[in-house]
Amino acid sequence: MRPPSLHADRKAAKRARHKAKHHKYTKAAFFRYCYYDPAFKFFCEQVLDVDYLPLPEATRAASEVGVQNSSDYVCTPFKHILGDFAEALDLGADILIQFGGPCRLGYYGELQDSILRDMGYDFIMLNFAHGIEKGYIGWAKEVLKTVNPDVDIPHGVVQMKALARMIAHLDSLRDFYLANAGFERERGAFDVAWARAMDAMRACTDERDIAQAYRDAMGEMRAVPLDKPADPIRIGIVGEMFTAIDERSNLGLDHKLVAMGVEVHRMLNFTNRYLRYNEPNLRVGAKDYLTYDMGPTSTLTVLAAKKYAEGGFDGIIHAKSAGCTPEIDCIPVLQKVSEDFAVPILYLTYDSQTSDTGLDTRLEAFYDMLAMKKEKRK
């Protein structure tokens, strides 16, 4: 990392005075979502030029706020996000950022906005789903006019490019972690390296910082000694965008599998969903199983499962929240993939009552079955 400027504190104080004088809304918060917190912080501070409010570790009480103020029939991600937003507002946020999502989250932003106002909160919500309706350039102009009319547009564009690079690097680091952390010689070495990587990414202020933080983090993880067998059990994770990635929602699925000594792969991430996503091209890859766009991440779910099966993976885990219609529609297609390639698929459905113990039992049974099948094949 480059040494900080001698004038950094003076510049920060000047910006703070300017915000206090000219901006009504100055403190932004995202909801909790897996390992993307450094990217959320970078977007707020380096693109919007507003203060970022990081949320503390999630508690049961915070989740209960979302559950109590939501319909029983709405999916668990909605409840988690609503609870996070309420907690952020209680902690002093006045800007909430809902990045839309490829599912009904695009509509959920509107509903969450309405519920939170009924609860008595005053705030503005930057809902990325509005960019789909109005065009992102027009919507971005409205956002900047509301949040920070004095923002440096050229600088913001440069920093958006840096943000995309940060997201790609975060996903790359996570992919390496999932594929190798289960085989570390010294227990916890990868978690230490991961925590250090996240701290370094949170401190980044431009693309050069991001590149350096990534090099350092990847170098540290590659240096961790491994005892990895030549043919480990490999499991691919597919499913709904929120539950399949977010460890709070899936009860630490990543860590449970890694602790079993599994090489884990997950094609579903921000890079593949937002930066490189091309629905028609994906559908070509899954043409044996799909003709039309089934909505949200369904095409990616089917294509990833097919690639894992073709790649000789030992098993696939499909994770979704209860009531996720697009992923429910994927299940018959995944069953066909399982039949065609003789690859076992474990279907996990989560809601606010899902038990950690029950999940452990199912994962252990799935692992034992894969291990026996692998041994028999040898």
pLDDT in tens, 138-157: 778 788 878 888 888 888 88
Residue 30: half-sphere exposure toward Cβ, Cα within 13 Å: 19
pLDDT of residue 168: 97
**What pLDDT shows up at residue 80?**
92
Tell me how far apart the 2 most distant CA atoms of the chain are, in Å: 71
**Cβ atoms of residues 233 and 371 within 8 Å:** yes
HEC per residue, 277-309: CCHHHHHHHCCCCCCCCCCCCHHHHHHHHHHHH
* Per-residue model confidence (pLDDT) at position 5: 52
Backbone angles phi, psi at 250, to 5 degrees: -100, 15
Residue ranges, the chain, pLDDT below 50: 6
Give residue 88's pLDDT: 97
How high is the pLDDT of residue 238? Answer: 98
Residue 292's pLDDT is 84
Instruction: State residue 149's pLDDT score.
Output: 82
In degrees and rounded to multiples of 5, residue 6 shows phi and psi of: -65, -20
pLDDT of 28: 96
Find all residues with CB under 8 Å of 339, minimum gap 6, and list them.
Answer: none
Question: CA angle 355-261-259, nearest 5°?
Answer: 40
Count of C-beta atoms within a 10 Å radius of residue 34: 18
Nearest to 116 by CA among 143, 139, 96, 146: 96
pLDDT in tens, 54-88: 999 988 888 899 999 998 888 888 999 999 999 99
